[in-house]
Amino acid sequence: MKKLIVAIDGPSGSGKGVLAQKLSEIFHLAYLDTGLLYRAVAYKLLQNRSSLGKITEALKIAQNLKPEDLCIPALRADKVASFASKIASSMDVRTALLKFQTDFIKNALITDQGVILDGRDIGTKVLPEARFKIFLTANLEVRAQRRHKELQDRGIKSIYSDVLEDMRERDRRDCERDESPLIPAQDAYVIDTSAMQINEVVDHVVRYISKRSGATG
């Protein structure tokens, strides 16, 4: 049977991570959360107390990244996310991380029934050949509310107005950078999740993929 290749893109808080994880389980696909790659580089730089100016150091880290570097819980912190989005504007870092992603895809297509990646440039740059490209979006306030609630549920102190401003700033950087900006691929299926629960989004996309691929979840 033909391998299933799925690209998921969208801004933070759009639900893309949960969607990709669920689809990987349902369709038995190898899954890579590519945001973790940028976060891992940012985290290591922060640990080394390096400034963004040290792009050569960022590049060295990106070139030597190992799968186990993606498993650190501290990568989830907003401070790391914000630094990651700054590093993500470097073409050299992106090229090094693209190599990690293409290696992952090559292996996955040998060992698994298919592959799913989520990020910002998957449909446009990393998997332009993907059979399914889903671009999730939602308005800024809704996404900030989701993030604020998630932090509170995890017992982390959170101020909504700060979350909103951080997200606005990260959106601006991710959408306006020259290299691989966050933008739907021309052939992407764009879904606005502002008024949807995540389980509705998952059900909708599972039906969409099943109907068109013959794959069953």
Q: Would you tell me which residues interact with ligand DC (CB under 6 A)?
A: 12, 34-35, 38-39, 81, 84-85, 88, 119-121, 170, 174
- Nearer of residues 170 and 215 to ligand DC, judged by Cβ: 170
User: Are 18 and 202 within 8 A, CB to CB?
Assistant: yes
CA dihedral 144, 16, 202, 184 (to 10 degrees): 110
Using DSSP's 3-state secondary structure scheme, residue 178 falls into: coil
- In whole angstroms, the minimum distance from the beta carbon of 94 to ligand DC comes to 7
- Nearer of residues 87 and 215 to ligand DC, judged by Cβ: 87
- In whole angstroms, the minimum distance from the beta carbon of 98 to ligand DC comes to 9
The Cβ of residue 109 has, within 10 Å, a number of other Cβ atoms equal to 14
- In whole angstroms, the minimum distance from the beta carbon of 56 to ligand DC comes to 19
Q: Report which DSSP code applies to 43.
A: H
- In whole angstroms, the minimum distance from the beta carbon of 123 to ligand DC comes to 10
- Nearer of residues 44 and 120 to ligand DC, judged by Cβ: 120
Greatest distance between any 2 Cα atoms in the chain = 50
- Nearer of residues 88 and 96 to ligand DC, judged by Cβ: 88
Could you give the strand order of the β-sheet that contains 189-192, starting from the edge strand earlier in sequence?
Answer: 30-33, 114-119, 4-9, 132-137, 189-192
User: Are 205 and 23 within 8 A, CB to CB?
Assistant: yes
